[in-house]
Protein backbone atom coordinates (compact mmCIF):
# COMPACT_ATOMS: atom_id res chain seq x y z
CA UNK A 1 0.00 0.00 0.00
CA UNK A 2 2.83 2.41 0.79
CA UNK A 3 4.42 2.01 -2.64
CA UNK A 4 1.08 2.69 -4.33
CA UNK A 5 0.48 5.71 -2.07
CA UNK A 6 3.92 7.16 -2.82
CA UNK A 7 3.42 6.67 -6.55
CA UNK A 8 0.07 8.50 -6.42
CA UNK A 9 1.58 11.19 -4.21
CA UNK A 10 4.53 11.80 -6.54
CA UNK A 11 2.09 11.99 -9.46
CA UNK A 12 0.26 14.82 -7.63
CA UNK A 13 3.16 16.80 -6.16
CA UNK A 14 5.77 15.98 -8.80
CA UNK A 15 8.47 13.33 -8.98
CA UNK A 16 11.12 15.69 -7.61
CA UNK A 17 9.17 16.84 -4.55
CA UNK A 18 10.39 16.06 -1.05
CA UNK A 19 8.35 13.49 0.85
CA UNK A 20 8.94 12.32 4.42
CA UNK A 21 7.69 8.88 5.50
CA UNK A 22 7.50 8.25 9.26
CA UNK A 23 7.52 4.58 10.24
CA UNK A 24 6.74 2.99 13.60
CA UNK A 25 10.06 1.13 13.90
CA UNK A 26 13.63 1.46 12.59
CA UNK A 27 13.60 -1.86 10.73
CA UNK A 28 10.39 -0.80 8.97
CA UNK A 29 11.98 2.48 7.82
CA UNK A 30 15.08 0.64 6.61
CA UNK A 31 13.03 -2.01 4.82
CA UNK A 32 10.80 0.51 3.06
CA UNK A 33 13.80 2.63 2.05
CA UNK A 34 15.53 -0.36 0.46
CA UNK A 35 12.30 -1.56 -1.15
CA UNK A 36 11.51 1.87 -2.61
CA UNK A 37 15.13 2.33 -3.75
CA UNK A 38 15.00 -1.01 -5.60
CA UNK A 39 11.73 -0.06 -7.33
CA UNK A 40 12.79 3.50 -8.19
CA UNK A 41 16.57 3.59 -8.73
CA UNK A 42 16.17 6.95 -10.48
CA UNK A 43 14.81 8.65 -7.33
CA UNK A 44 16.77 9.90 -4.35
CA UNK A 45 15.95 7.80 -1.28
CA UNK A 46 17.19 8.52 2.24
CA UNK A 47 16.77 6.76 5.60
CA UNK A 48 17.36 7.87 9.17
CA UNK A 49 16.48 5.95 12.31
CA UNK A 50 17.87 4.97 15.68
CA UNK A 51 19.79 1.97 14.31
CA UNK A 52 21.99 4.35 12.29
CA UNK A 53 24.80 6.13 14.15
CA UNK A 54 24.14 9.77 15.00
CA UNK A 55 26.89 11.07 12.68
CA UNK A 56 25.49 9.07 9.76
CA UNK A 57 21.94 10.30 10.52
CA UNK A 58 23.13 13.92 10.48
CA UNK A 59 24.96 13.37 7.19
CA UNK A 60 21.92 11.67 5.61
CA UNK A 61 19.58 14.42 6.82
CA UNK A 62 21.93 17.07 5.43
CA UNK A 63 21.96 15.26 2.06
CA UNK A 64 18.15 15.16 2.04
CA UNK A 65 17.85 18.81 3.07
CA UNK A 66 20.17 19.94 0.27
CA UNK A 67 18.68 17.62 -2.37
CA UNK A 68 16.31 18.99 -4.99
CA UNK A 69 13.83 16.24 -4.10
CA UNK A 70 13.55 12.74 -2.74
CA UNK A 71 11.91 10.50 -0.19
CA UNK A 72 13.12 10.28 3.40
CA UNK A 73 12.12 7.24 5.47
CA UNK A 74 12.41 7.93 9.20
CA UNK A 75 11.75 6.23 12.54
CA UNK A 76 12.65 7.05 16.12
CA UNK A 77 13.55 10.64 15.26
CA UNK A 78 11.94 13.82 16.49
CA UNK A 79 9.97 15.45 13.67
CA UNK A 80 11.05 18.86 14.97
CA UNK A 81 14.70 17.91 14.45
CA UNK A 82 14.09 17.50 10.73
CA UNK A 83 13.32 21.20 10.05
CA UNK A 84 12.15 20.51 6.50
CA UNK A 85 9.80 23.32 5.58
CA UNK A 86 10.14 22.42 1.90
CA UNK A 87 8.63 18.94 2.28
CA UNK A 88 5.61 18.63 0.00
CA UNK A 89 4.08 15.79 2.00
CA UNK A 90 4.38 13.63 5.09
CA UNK A 91 3.23 10.02 5.28
CA UNK A 92 2.76 8.28 8.65
CA UNK A 93 2.80 4.49 8.22
CA UNK A 94 0.92 2.81 11.05
CA UNK A 95 -0.66 4.28 14.14
CA UNK A 96 1.31 7.17 15.64
CA UNK A 97 2.10 7.02 19.36
CA UNK A 98 -0.42 9.81 19.98
CA UNK A 99 -2.42 12.48 18.24
CA UNK A 100 0.27 14.99 19.25
CA UNK A 101 2.97 12.82 17.68
CA UNK A 102 1.05 12.77 14.39
CA UNK A 103 0.51 16.54 14.51
CA UNK A 104 4.25 17.07 15.04
CA UNK A 105 4.88 14.87 11.98
CA UNK A 106 2.48 17.00 9.95
CA UNK A 107 4.32 20.16 11.02
CA UNK A 108 7.31 18.93 8.98
CA UNK A 109 5.34 19.66 5.81
CA UNK A 110 4.04 23.09 6.70
CA UNK A 111 1.26 23.69 4.23
CA UNK A 112 1.92 20.35 2.56
CA UNK A 113 -0.11 17.21 2.43
CA UNK A 114 -0.44 14.69 5.27
CA UNK A 115 -1.29 11.03 4.81
CA UNK A 116 -1.97 8.50 7.55
CA UNK A 117 -1.82 4.85 6.45
CA UNK A 118 -3.59 2.53 8.88
CA UNK A 119 -4.18 -1.19 9.07
CA UNK A 120 -7.77 -2.36 9.55
CA UNK A 121 -7.08 -3.14 13.21
CA UNK A 122 -5.95 0.48 13.76
CA UNK A 123 -9.19 2.05 12.47
CA UNK A 124 -10.47 2.87 15.96
CA UNK A 125 -7.64 5.41 16.16
CA UNK A 126 -9.68 7.56 13.78
CA UNK A 127 -11.91 8.52 16.72
CA UNK A 128 -9.03 10.65 18.01
CA UNK A 129 -9.08 12.57 14.72
CA UNK A 130 -12.84 12.98 14.28
CA UNK A 131 -12.57 16.79 14.52
CA UNK A 132 -9.94 16.94 11.76
CA UNK A 133 -10.54 17.34 8.06
CA UNK A 134 -10.00 13.73 7.03
CA UNK A 135 -10.72 12.21 3.69
CA UNK A 136 -10.85 8.43 3.54
CA UNK A 137 -9.40 7.06 0.33
CA UNK A 138 -10.51 3.72 -1.05
CA UNK A 139 -7.73 1.16 -1.17
CA UNK A 140 -7.45 -1.67 -3.65
CA UNK A 141 -8.94 -4.97 -2.51
CA UNK A 142 -6.86 -6.58 0.20
CA UNK A 143 -4.84 -3.45 0.93
CA UNK A 144 -4.93 -1.17 3.94
CA UNK A 145 -7.02 1.97 3.72
CA UNK A 146 -5.13 5.28 3.80
CA UNK A 147 -6.63 8.29 5.50
CA UNK A 148 -5.55 11.66 4.20
CA UNK A 149 -5.43 14.89 6.18
CA UNK A 150 -6.47 17.97 4.26
CA UNK A 151 -3.64 20.25 3.04
CA UNK A 152 -2.37 22.49 5.79
CA UNK A 153 -2.01 19.69 8.30
CA UNK A 154 -3.75 18.98 11.56
CA UNK A 155 -5.56 21.62 13.53
CA UNK A 156 -6.22 24.02 10.64
> Strands 70-74 and 134-136: what pairing?
unpaired
Q: Of 3-12, 69-78, 145-154, where does mean pLDDT reach its minimum?
A: 145-154
pLDDT of residue 88: 86
150, pLDDT greater than 60:
no
In this structure, of 22-26, 50-54, 128-132, 148-152, the range with the lowest mean pLDDT score is: 148-152
Instruction: Establish how many alpha carbons lie within 13 A of residue 54's alpha carbon, considering only the half-sphere containing its beta carbon.
Output: 2
* pLDDT bucket at 99, cuts 50 / 70 / 90: confident
State how beta strands 145-149 and 113-118 pair: antiparallel
In whole angstroms, what is the distance from residue 72 CA to residue 156 CA?
25
Q: What percent of the chain has pLDDT over 70?
A: 76
Mean pLDDT computed over 29-54: 90
2-149 falls under which CATH superfamily? P-loop containing nucleotide triphosphate hydrolases (3.40.50.300)
Q: Which run of H or E residues covers position 7?
A: helix 2-13
pLDDT single digits (tens) 65-83: 888 899 999 988 766 566 6
C-alpha 133/C-alpha 145 separation (Å) is 16
Q: Quick check: 105 and 81 in contact, CB under 8 A?
A: no
* 10: confidence class by pLDDT, cuts 50, 70, 90: confident
| Cα atoms in the 13 Å half-sphere on the side-chain side of 136 | 12
Q: Is-above-0.85 flag for pTM?
A: no
Q: How high is the pLDDT of residue 33?
A: 93
User: For 62, phi and psi rounded to 5 degrees?
Assistant: -65, -40
CA 23, 133, 112, 96: dihedral to nearest 10 degrees? -10
Amino acid sequence: MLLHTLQRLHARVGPDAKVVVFCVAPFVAGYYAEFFRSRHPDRAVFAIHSKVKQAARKKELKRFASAAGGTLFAADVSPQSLQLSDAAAVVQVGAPASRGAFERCLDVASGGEGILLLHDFERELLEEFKDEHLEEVEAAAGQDVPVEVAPGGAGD
